[in-house]
Amino acid sequence: MKVAVVGATGMVGTIMIKLLEERNFPVSELLLVASEKSVGKELLFKGKAIKIMGLETAVSKKPDIAIFSAGGSTSLEWAPKFAEIGTTVIDNSSAWRMDPSKKLVVPEINASQLTKEDKIIANPNCSTIQMVMALAPLHKKYQMKRVVVSTYQSVSGTGIKAVNQLENEIKGIKSEMAYPYPIHKNALPHCDVFEANGYTKEEMKLAREPQKILDDSAFSITATAVRIPTAGGHSESVNVAFENDFDLNDIRRMLHETPGITVQDNPDTNTYPMPIYANGKDDVFVGRIRRDETQKNTLNMWIVSDNLRKGAATNAIQIAEYLVEQGLV
């Protein structure tokens, strides 16, 4: 199994390499791909130094799978070139997510839709992944009508420049700004760029992607996405109105039985999800599960996950694992 990681030197790319090793993915040859300025540098995989190559070289080597985390413009240009030579591309950017001809996949929910013909597979937005992981089993039983989500997103979701901005501000060092304002001791209701409707791109991803993943447009989602000064892990306050009534114990049981979810929900012991504990883990953590007492058939939840792992790298590797297990590559 020849595997290429495109964007190997980035925050998500380095975790992808780590996960391929951690999860013992069947790699016979690993191709590490990055921009021209990184070509020739080396990264370690299973104790062995591997030289970084450019995209042209990687295409010529015809990998079985190429996992992209190199930005939308790179994916739009290069994913089709890999697909043309028979490589299955798993893309972590937003480039292909809403393309009706491409599958948008969270393995625990809809990997069974994948076929050998799917040569470009989209990885959803990090905030979307953790939310649909919790919503999918509940939607199946109670039928969602409307979701209101507010996010509290880590600076790591913006990239290394934002992480550096936060660290430098904590130290009192003036440096390059990833955001239009300081992030230390602050909260920015501004994730990604603003669209004509006044929502940000991040908020519209949260509104649109779950409908595609769950193959259902009968429910609606409205979002407010906020950047906060945490180094890793996204948190979400989620309010869900269902068609049908529910029992809170059933909700907890269903979530507890869902692979990839850990329920942390005991107010008596101050047990609830927090990014500081989700950091470095692959599960989605759900807590503060309670009925909305202002509206019938409505639930409140607090959902936390490591945005670089399940929100990006882990989900992509899980897609690759499914493809291998099912003989689709």
Whether 104 and 157 share a structural domain: no
For residue range 42-68, what is the model confidence (pLDDT) as tens digits? 999 999 999 999 999 999 999 999 999
Q: CA geometry: angle at 127 spanning 123 and 130, to 5°? A: 85
CATH number for position 27: 3.40.50.720
The predicted structure's pLDDT at residue 275: 97
Conformational region of residue 155, where left means phi above 0, alpha means psi within -120 to 50, and beta covers everything else: alpha
Whether 193 and 241 share a structural domain: yes
* Residues labelled as active-site residues: 126, 234
The predicted structure's pLDDT at residue 190: 98
Residues 94, 34 contacting (CB under 8 angstroms): no
Mean pLDDT for back-to-back runs of 10 residues, the chain (329 residues): 97 97 97 95 96 98 97 97 98 97 98 98 98 98 98 97 97 96 98 98 98 98 98 97 98 98 98 97 98 98 98 98 97
Domain, as residue range, for 217: 127-308
- Is pTM beyond 0.85? Reply is yes
CATH number for position 289: 3.30.360.10
Whether 114 and 169 share a structural domain: no
Whether 38 and 138 share a structural domain: no
Whether 85 and 56 share a structural domain: yes
Whether 11 and 102 share a structural domain: yes
Whether 174 and 282 share a structural domain: yes
Helix, coil or strand: residue 131: helix
DSSP letter assigned to residue 124: P
Segment (H or E) for 295 = none
The predicted structure's pLDDT at residue 194: 98
d(CA 43, CA 51): 7
Residues 227, 155 contacting (CB under 8 angstroms): yes
Number of domains in the chain: 2
Whether 111 and 132 share a structural domain: no
How would you class 285 by CB atoms within 10 Å of its CB: exposed for 0-12, middle for 13-18, buried for 19 or more?
buried
Whether 114 and 143 share a structural domain: no
Whether 156 and 302 share a structural domain: yes
Going by DSSP bridges, is the β-strand pair 88-91/65-68 parallel, antiparallel, or unpaired? Answer: parallel
**Taken in order 162, 189, 90, 325, is the CA torsion positive or negative?**
positive
The dihedrals phi and psi of 174, each to the nearest 5 degrees, come to: -80, 130
Whether 252 and 318 share a structural domain: no
Whether 316 and 276 share a structural domain: no
